[in-house]
């Protein structure tokens, strides 16, 4: 049973979050502000409370706001923190991620997306090891970036440990990205590398395939974490956050 700390000054929102998350089988602990979050974390680390696995943290809270609270959390803890905030500006997201948030969800949130992100963070934290016990896999047929694992021998792809079914073209595109993380591929380049009989001028189909790939691998395809659109240039793979 994973325990999630929900910090928000609005009791109704805490209530809604409790309903959604408890329906998924998580145990919920509530906090009204940043100071309470720190107190609860301190208690759990001293063994007074059961251990917490994830924090949903609102940014705008009285007493101590989410950004300062996150900053203090990161001094001692490495458990995943998802910021939950009404602030949707890019600069706010960048600030949150810089301070140490693992993910960012804007209010009003889509419950499905929120739960997907919570699950993703928990899986990565628990399965891939909170002590960074990332299994050192010398098998060259196994590629891993963020929560995505590609097992080339089995032609199998997993996202946060759950298998994802891809078409052969999508699989080839993903493999190309996984082999060169961070590199920006122009659509024409992807087309040349993936398609067996490239027809000139048909690069437009690449965008469609990548869109599909994103829909399968990303929680929110419009705000991708792994397969990023570099507008006007191409696409690239990142480590996620």
Partner 1 sequence: MKKHWKNRTLFKVLIPFLQIACITSTIVFALLACYCLSRGGDMYRASRQSVEQASRAAVTKNYSMIAATHVADKSYGRSALSGTNFQYGIITGHRSDIDGYINKLTASDLTDPKLYAYQNFKDISRLTPDNTKEVTILHYPCSKWASYQSYTDGPFSVGSVYVDEQTVTHTIKGFGLEKNSRTPYVLADGIWYPLSEDTEYTALIKENQKTVFSYADDGTDERLPTREEIRELIKHNHYSKKNTTAFYRIRYGYNMEGSDGYLYIKPEEMKEFDATKLADSKISTLTATPDTLTTFSTLDNDAEDEAIVVSYVPKELDMSLDDDYVRNQNFIHFFFDHRYLFIALSILSFLGFLVTTALFLCLAGHTEEPMPSSKEENIRKLSDGTWLQRWGIARMPMDLWLLLLLCFLGISGAWVESINTGFGGLLVHGVAYCILGGLFAELLLYVLVVNLKLGNIVKRTLLGRFILALVNINNGTQIQKKARNGFIIVTVLEFLAFLVMSSTSLGGVHSDVFGLLFVCWVALRVVVFIALKKGTDILSQSLDQAVTERVRAERFQTQLITNVSHDIKTPLTSIISYVDLLSKESLDNNKAEEYVEVLTRQSARLKKLIQDLIDASKASSGNIPLHTQRVNSSVILSQAAGEYEEKLKTAGIELQTFVTAGSPDSDNPEAKEVYILADPQQLWRVFNNLLSNITKYAQHSTRAYVDLEEVNGRIRFIFRNTSATALHVSADELMERFVQGDASRSTEGSGLGLSIAKSLTELMGGSFTITIDGDLFKAIVDFPAI
Shortest CB 129 distance to partner 1, Å: 33
Contacts to partner 1 from residues 96-115, by CB under 8 A? 107-109, 111
Nearest one of 52, 50, 58 to 33, comparing CA atoms: 58
28 belongs to the binding site for partner 1 (CB under 8 A): no
13 belongs to the binding site for partner 1 (CB under 8 A): yes
Shortest CB 163 distance to partner 1, Å: 23
From the centroid of its chain, how far is CA 173?
A: 21
Shortest CB 226 distance to partner 1, Å: 16
Edge-to-edge strands of the sheet including 162-164?
142-145, 148-151, 156-159, 162-164
Edge-to-edge strands of the sheet including 27-31?
27-31, 3-7, 54-58, 81-85, 103-106
Contacts to partner 1 from residues 55-74, by CB under 8 A? 60
Shortest CB 35 distance to partner 1, Å: 20
Q: Is 7 helix (H, G, I), strand (E, B) or coil?
A: strand
236 belongs to the binding site for partner 1 (CB under 8 A): no
Phi, psi torsion values for 93, nearest 5 degrees: -65, -45
Shortest CB 172 distance to partner 1, Å: 17
Which DSSP symbol is given to 196?
S
How many residues bind partner 1 (CB under 8 A)? The answer is 33
Give the contacts of 192 (CB within 8 A, at least 6 positions apart). Answer: 198
Contacts to partner 1 from residues 157-216, by CB under 8 A? 186-187, 203-208, 210-212
Q: What sign does the CA torsion over 229, 231, 232, 237 have?
A: negative
Q: Where along the sequence are the contacts to partner 1 (CB under 8 A)?
A: 10, 12-13, 16-17, 19-20, 60, 86-89, 107-109, 111, 186-187, 203-208, 210-212, 229-234
């Amino acid at each position: 049973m994973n325990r999630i700390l929900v910090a928000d000054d609005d009791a109704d929102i805490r209530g809604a979050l409790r309903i959604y998350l408890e329906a998924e089988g998580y145990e919920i602990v509530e906090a009204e502000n940043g100071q309470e979050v720190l107190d609860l974390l301190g208690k759990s680390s001293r063994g007074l409370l059961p251990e917490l696995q994830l924090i949903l943290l609102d940014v705008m809270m009285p007493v101590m706001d989410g950004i300062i609270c996150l900053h203090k959390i990161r001094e001692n803890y490495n458990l995943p923190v998802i910021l939950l905030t009404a602030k949707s500006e890019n600069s706010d997201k960048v600030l949150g991620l810089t301070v140490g948030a693992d993910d960012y969800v804007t209010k009003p949130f889509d419950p499905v997306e929120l739960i997907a992100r919570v699950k993703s963070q928990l899986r990565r934290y628990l399965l891939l090891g909170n002590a960074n016990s990332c299994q050192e896999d010398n098998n060259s047929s196994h590629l891993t970036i963020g929560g995505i694992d590609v097992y080339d021998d089995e032609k199998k792809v997993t996202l946060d440990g759950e298998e994802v079914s891809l078409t052969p073209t999508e699989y080839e595109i993903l493999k190309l990205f996984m082999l060169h993380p961070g590199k920006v591929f122009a659509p024409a380049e992807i087309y040349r590398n993936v398609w067996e009989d490239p027809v000139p001028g048909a690069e437009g189909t690449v965008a469609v395939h990548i869109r599909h790939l994103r829909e399968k691998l990303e929680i929110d395809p419009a705000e991708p974490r792994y397969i990023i659109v570099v507008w006007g240039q191409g696409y690239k793979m990142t480590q996620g956050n």
